[in-house]
């Protein structure tokens, strides 16, 4: 494939043809914020916080969905770019709960990070606010759609990577929200609790129930582990606090492989000194089940018993 050379913030950068401006800039070490961009699923180009200034273009350009071209001159932090990003953050904060003090995502939240970086202390916009009930019907995942910024990453990862369509955009305009079919709760949907959507959510809209109240992000160290329950090789994070594993979470996607609940539960049992009892759905409702059942090992136990007899 041919190469193209462009100038980013005064520096000449050479990338292969078809590379986005975003990837070219990040590859050269320049910061560009993104909210809806996910390398594991195709470009969405919705949040527009990744805009940059391209010499000769009539408007700011979304860097995630525009290809770098020969001779292009790009500025990633010009005054116009910074102003546009501030406005996007202000609009998001206009309908966002001021909940950082108690939010599980505090310290690991992309919206919080960008508000800090661009010095947006509050929203200059006033208007109607959502007041959705928090959905904690699923035993593993808490959904707080009041904190959702509609980036769509959860929808795309569920559909394109996990090969399911459990959640999607529902309604229109101000009422737009992410919801399972018929706007029911997660427990009543076909969700398999893989946790992939939680792993990609940039804010505190999707969080792990098992990690709630266990510690701030800066108190927790993560160590990557590859599941060996099957040959898919899914990757998880062991979450350590004060040297002890306090929970297993899906690793931020990168490999593109699907994750499964059985793998995560198995690793909980293996590494976590205090694993929470597993729950599986039976006859439409979640019930606590023995570990052998949660891990699908009943058949193995039967065979071992047969051999003993
Ligand atoms: S999602 Fe982020 S910005 Fe919103 S309350 Fe939680 S930490 Fe704060
Ligand atoms: S946990 Fe998995 S199956 Fe359930 S909504 Fe999220 S990505 Fe889809
Ligand atoms: S729940 Fe999270 S990942 Fe899904 S659209 Fe909202 S902010 Fe994005």
Report how far ligand 1's centroid is from the alpha carbon of 173 (Å).
22
Query: What's the pLDDT at 44?
Result: 79
CATH code, domain carrying 39? 3.10.20.740
Q: Nearest ligand to the C-alpha of residue 205?
A: 3
Q: What is the pLDDT of residues 10-46, one digit of tens each?
A: 999 999 999 999 999 999 999 999 999 988 776 778 8
Between the CA of residue 189 and those of 124, 186, 210, 288, what are the distances in Å?
38, 5, 20, 18
Report how far ligand 1's centroid is from the alpha carbon of 219 (Å).
17
196 neighbors 141 (Cβ within 8 angstroms): no
Q: What is the pLDDT of residues 236-275, one digit of tens each?
A: 999 999 999 999 998 876 656 678 898 899 999 999 988 8
Which ligand 2 atom is at minimum distance from the Cα of 195? Answer: 1
* 264, 300: one domain: no
* 169, 261: one domain: yes
258 neighbors 248 (Cβ within 8 angstroms): no
Among protein residues, the one with the nearest Cα to ligand 2's atom 6 is 197
48 neighbors 64 (Cβ within 8 angstroms): no
State the total domains in the chain. 3
Direct distance between the N- and C-terminal alpha carbons of the chain, in angstroms, rounded to an integer: 64
* 142, 51: one domain: no
In this structure, is residue 161 part of a structural domain?
yes
* 55, 170: one domain: no
Give residue for tokens 């198995």.
266
pTM of the model: 0.92
* 130, 48: one domain: no
Between the CA of residue 247 and those of 101, 108, 220, what are the distances in Å?
22, 17, 10
* 258, 301: one domain: no
Instruction: State how far the Cα of 226 lies from the Cα of 292, in Å rounded to an integer.
Output: 21
Report how far ligand 2's centroid is from the alpha carbon of 68 (Å).
34
Query: What's the pLDDT at 127?
Result: 76
* 9, 39: one domain: yes
DSSP β-bridge partners for residue 150: none
Confidence of residue 289 (pLDDT cuts 50, 70, 90): very high
Alpha-carbon torsion (30, 32, 33, 38), positive or negative: negative
In this structure, is residue 308 part of a structural domain?
yes
Among protein residues, the one with the nearest Cα to ligand 3's atom 7 is 148
In this structure, is residue 203 part of a structural domain?
yes
* 120, 134: one domain: yes
Instruction: State how far the Cα of 228 lies from the Cα of 161, in Å rounded to an integer.
Output: 20
In this structure, is residue 31 part of a structural domain?
yes
pLDDT at 64 over 90: yes
**Residue closest to 186 by CA, chosen among 214, 160, 158:** 158
Instruction: State how far the Cα of 96 lies from the Cα of 179, in Å rounded to an integer.
Output: 18
User: Whole domain around residue 224: which residue ranges?
Assistant: 91-276
The residue whose CB lies within 8 Å of the most ligand 3 atoms, and thus the one to mutate among 104, 108, 151, 197, is 151
Q: Nearest ligand to the C-alpha of residue 147?
A: 1
């Amino acid at each position: 494939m041919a190469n193209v050379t462009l100038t980013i913030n005064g520096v000449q950068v050479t990338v292969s043809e078809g590379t986005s401006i975003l990837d070219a800039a990040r590859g050269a070490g320049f910061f560009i914020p993104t909210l809806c961009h996910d390398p594991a699923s195709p470009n969405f180009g919705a949040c527009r916080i990744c805009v940059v200034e391209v010499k000769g273009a009539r408007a700011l350009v979304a860097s995630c969905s525009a290809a770098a071209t020969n001779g292009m001159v790009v500025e990633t932090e010009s005054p116009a770019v910074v102003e546009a990003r501030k406005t996007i953050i202000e609009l998001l904060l206009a309908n966002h709960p001021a909940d950082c003090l108690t939010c599980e995502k505090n310290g690991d939240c992309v919206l919080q990070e960008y508000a800090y970086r661009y010095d947006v202390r509050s929203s200059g916009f006033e208007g109607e606010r959502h007041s959705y009930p928090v959905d904690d019907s699923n035993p593993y995942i808490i959904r707080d759609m009041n904190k959702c910024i509609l980036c769509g990453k959860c929808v795309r990862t569920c559909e394109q990577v996990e090969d399911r369509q459990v959640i999607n955009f529902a309604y229109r305009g101000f009422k737009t929200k992410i919801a399972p079919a018929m706007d029911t709760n997660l427990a009543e949907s076909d969700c398999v609790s893989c946790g992939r959507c939680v792993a990609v959510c940039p804010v505190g809209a999707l969080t792990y129930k098992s990690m709630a109240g266990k510690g701030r992000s800066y108190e927790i160290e993560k160590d990557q582990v590859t599941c060996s329950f099957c040959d898919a090789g899914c990757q998880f994070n062991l979450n350590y606090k004060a040297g002890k594993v306090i929970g297993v979470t899906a690793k931020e996607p990168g490999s593109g492989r699907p994750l499964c609940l059985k793998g995560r539960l198995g690793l909980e049992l293996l590494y976590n000194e205090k694993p929470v009892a597993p729950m599986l759905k039976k006859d439409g409702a979640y019930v606590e089940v023995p570990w052998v059942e949660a891990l699908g090992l009943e058949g193995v136990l039967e065979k071992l018993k047969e051999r003993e007899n």
